[in-house]
Amino acid sequence: MRPKGSILCFVCLCLVLLLGPGCAFAQHINILKAELDPDTREIEIQQEFTYQNDSQDTLAVLYFNDWAHSYSSKKTDLARRFAEDFKKSLHLAKADERGSTRIFGMSDFEFRNLNWKRTPKRDLIEIQLNRPLPPGASVKMYLTYTVTLPPNKYTPYGYDPRGGYYLKDWYLTPAVYEDDWQLYSNKNLEDLYTGITNTTITLTYPENLFLGTNYNEVNITSYPAKQVATLKGVGRKSGDVILNSSRKFIKHVTPYLIVVTDIRSPKYDEISQGISINRITQFIHENLGDYPYEQLLVSETDFNKNPLYGLNQLPSFIRPYEEQFQFEMKFLKTALLSQLRETLFLNPRKEQWVTDAIVNYLMIRFVQTYYPDQKLLGKLSSIWPVSTFTLAQMSFNDQYPFLYMLTARKNLDQRLTTSNDSLIKFNQKIANTYKAGLGLAYLAAYTEREEVDKSIEQFYNTYKLKPVTPSDFRRVVESNVSRDVSWFFDTYVETDKRIDFKIKRVDKLEDTLAVVLKNKSGTNVPISLFGLKNDSVISNYWFSNITGIDTVLIPDREEDRLVLNYDQNIPEFNQRDNWKSLSGFFSSNKKLKLQFLKDAENPYYNQLFYMPVAGFNVYDGISPGIRFSNKTLLERPFIFSLAPSFALKERSLVGVAGFNYRKYLRKSGLYVANYSLNMSSFHFQTNSRYSTVTPAFGLGWRPDDLISNERRSLVFRYVNVFRDIDPSLVIETDPDYSVFNVRYNHYNNDIIDFFSWFVDGQHSADFSKLSLNFEYRKLFDNNTQLNLRFFAGKFLRNETNSDFFSFALDRPTDYLFDYDYLGRSEESGITSQQIIIAEGGFKSQLENPFANDWLVTTNASVNLWRWIEFYGDLGLVKNRGIDTRFVYDSGIRLNLVTDYFELYFPIYSNNGWEIAQPAYDEKIRFLVTLSPKTLIGLFTRKWF
């Protein structure tokens, strides 16, 4: 006789099989009636929601996600996230360009009103139940509200200018309760965490639109001027709806999966696209198993949110890849992300690394399987002179360790378990996702690839459509692999410790090689050792538990070179010391490789890069030259740069040289120490040259939150200036001088609330002085921007007999040669109108603009319309033996690109009505930044 417990289990199993995978655990029921009004771009929604309490706690309140409301204010987490990314489009948006949710009523199944309120985050709703909801019980609620859609200029979601719509996270969905409520606001991270529901949507929309969705299309009925679609999702997250003005979505029925997609490749014919889609769905099916729903939505919009970063983002006419490869990689990534997002119910904000690991590992495997010879630079790799670059020899899959290392070398790498909203953008979009996928490739190389492949397939088929955690993934992997892989989860995943090994030496012992390995970082992970002969691999070994210096013995197979991590499956911090030649002493020395422009690191050479440069000032004229440097695409601790140039006007050599060593100490707090020696030599007047030699030492601090733009620094430097002056010039200062300078900086480069201040001290043989500089910019809710600046400087000692070292109102003499003046000694002409906002910061050129005792000024501006601002400056100037003088000016500022390109038009000052005075064009001032490094930073600042 079968025990009662066994009969009960058997009955439950039969019910699960009969009802389908979506009913394997208690789920909420969601019935939605929605009507889209194309004139108002609003969706009127009536929602009947049955909440199932599958927790062990009695619930008095419920929380729902209302991410459509995250566009409603400048104070939401979404608006703040955009500000962190230096995007102020949502902050500047007009009221009719915002999205929002207007809730008209909530009631329970007895039609009694439910009290509700928005949390401080604004896009989460707290609903007070009329009676507590015990475990296992359910409550039915009726919700009536209208969603106003935003334009899709902030994110891909909302309405587009062509009359199309992308509806995502557009209706109220239940937050997840796991011992406590998991409440997450929209931060443009694609990580809505919502309870699993059985949802039916009846959507009414205009007749001229075509629908694409991740839900099952049960029925679409056409009526005059409208269509009504019935969509169903069993055991699903929220439903996505894409409405286009043309029939963009095509349904591909393959033996493995039904795919609905609007991804196209104009240069790749439709038949070939179908064959590629069939190949991809087969690959996904073989590696993951069956997709449990009717169809998979693979959209162009989803790809654009998570593109193949790199060369694929170049304009199509210069992309270096074959159309088939480009299409398949694009489709594969989008399909994998869509399938795992729909079926693996991980917490996407805290546990995204598991999904990233599987997606990127399978992309690595796909390239290994179908495109093993694909190069990172594609067709460019075979074209001279590109073919001479190390970058051209890298395989396509080499991009994974390379792009991860971009942030690791900058000391900005973060552990894989870091919450999604705490990752800097480059890590969130690229580096951490690549590190996760590379980690599984590392694991597969250390164990057996088949074991990792089996683990992924088993994990997916065991936990799809079920609550799941990374612990479940670990359990499955450890049950399938033959080696101890605790290091992978405890160290590689849970920490940001770097991996860095080197070969110290190799001793030959008859038929054995004694290899001395050093673990430079102390991170206890396995390391691979390859033996090469004539550039072919003839041996491969793995060693583990090397935490310091250890000697390993391997057979002598007449290798001519030993290389650690030769296949680069391990994201190692530094590979320049990973090899050792066995062909004699001199062959162990790295040869010098002279390379044009800049390149990836080649561990087998000492690389020296050269590139043409050109500078300009009115005395040297155009100065073409050549720069030599060891700076690779990845940051290095020690960098040198030599840039000799020839001044065409002076017909002499000029240029700069620099040596810099950067030592990262930790991730936050006092995180970096910097040692440098910089030299320069240019002309500051006709036939008059200045040369500087400046040794410096600096310390840097940053907060624990790496997303924060706040930084502090303390810099010590000793500026030595040597001047060769034309005999016809009369100067009142010694031609050579030295100044010891110490400066403490503190700034927060925020687009809404910017502040920066520094204290600067200088000491030389003839003077000692202190100064304070403070700047503040505030973008108010009414889109008015206020700019304030304050400067105060005081001489503690001044034994000079000229104004060369004095404080200046409008154009500092720049005796430390810090500023990029086009004509630093000019008193007339266009270059004399260049302004650098320093010291007094005045824009009008007043009489007696110097102060040899003290100077206090305030600069302010406020915008009148967009980038047109009104500015005003006030100041007090004190010279020795002269009464304090009050100075002022005012005018119009065209703030085209803040701190990079600005124009100033004086109106009224101590000079009177300047706008009415002769030669007004000579009074206009301009600010311009020409430094390529500074300009590039304007575009890269949102990533790092």
| 3-state secondary structure string across 849-918 | CEECCEEEEEEEEEEEECCEEEEEEEEEEECCCCCCEEEEEEEEEEEEECCCEEEEEEEEECCEEHHHCC
Helices (H), 631-700: none
Tell me how long the chain is.
Answer: 944
Helices and strands: H and E segment counts in the chain: 16, 47
User: Is residue 727 one of the residues assigned to a domain?
Assistant: no
Which residue bears the tokens 């969905």? 173
Asked if 880 contacts 898 with a C-beta cutoff of 8 angstroms, the reply is no
User: Is residue 372 one of the residues assigned to a domain?
Assistant: no
Query: Which uninterrupted H or E stretch holds 393?
Result: helix 390-393
CA–CA dist 252, 297 (Å, integer):
11
Query: Which uninterrupted H or E stretch holds 633?
Result: none
| Strand stretches in 191-323, DSSP E | 197-206, 210-213, 216-223, 226-236, 241-244, 250-253, 258-261, 296-298
Name the residue among 158, 184, 199 with its Cα closest to residue 66. Answer: 184
Helices (H), 94-147: none
Residue 704 phi, psi dihedral angles, 5° rounding: -65, -35
Domain count, the chain: 3
User: Is residue 493 one of the residues assigned to a domain?
Assistant: no
Name the residue among 70, 244, 216 with its Cα closest to residue 148. Answer: 70
217, β-bridge pairs? 231
By residue range, what is the domain housing residue 39? Answer: 26-243
Two structure tokens written together for 267: 């240069």
Helices (H), 239-387: 270-288, 300-305, 323-343, 352-370
User: Is residue 21 one of the residues assigned to a domain?
Assistant: no
Name the residue among 280, 569, 287 with its Cα closest to residue 450. Answer: 287
CA–CA dist 204, 44 (Å, integer):
10
Name the DSSP letter for residue 180.
Answer: S
User: Is residue 379 one of the residues assigned to a domain?
Assistant: no
Supply the pLDDT for residue 378: 92
Q: Split the chain (944 residues) into runs of 10 and give each run's mean pLDDT.
A: 37 35 64 97 98 96 98 93 89 91 95 95 96 96 98 94 95 96 95 95 95 92 94 93 89 94 91 96 97 93 86 70 94 97 95 97 97 94 92 94 95 96 95 97 96 98 94 98 96 96 92 95 96 93 96 93 92 91 71 92 92 95 97 95 97 97 96 98 95 98 94 98 90 89 96 94 97 95 92 97 95 94 92 95 96 98 93 98 97 90 96 95 92 73 80
Last residue of a domain, which of 535, 564, 589? 589
DSSP of 91-108:
HH--GGG--EEEEEEEEE
Asked if 686 contacts 619 with a C-beta cutoff of 8 angstroms, the reply is yes
- SS3 of 568-622: the string is CCCCECCCCCCEEECCCHHHHCCEEEEEECCCCCCCCEEEEEEEEEEEEECCCEE
User: Is residue 92 one of the residues assigned to a domain?
Assistant: yes
CA–CA dist 413, 51 (Å, integer):
41
CATH number at residue 510: 2.60.40
User: Is residue 216 one of the residues assigned to a domain?
Assistant: yes
Asked if 565 contacts 501 with a C-beta cutoff of 8 angstroms, the reply is yes
CATH number at residue 232: 2.60.40.1730
Last residue of a domain, which of 524, 559, 589? 589
Query: Which uninterrupted H or E stretch holds 347?
Result: none
User: Is residue 378 one of the residues assigned to a domain?
Assistant: no
Supply the pLDDT for residue 932: 72
Last residue of a domain, which of 186, 210, 243? 243
DSSP of 418-430:
S-GGGS-HHIIII
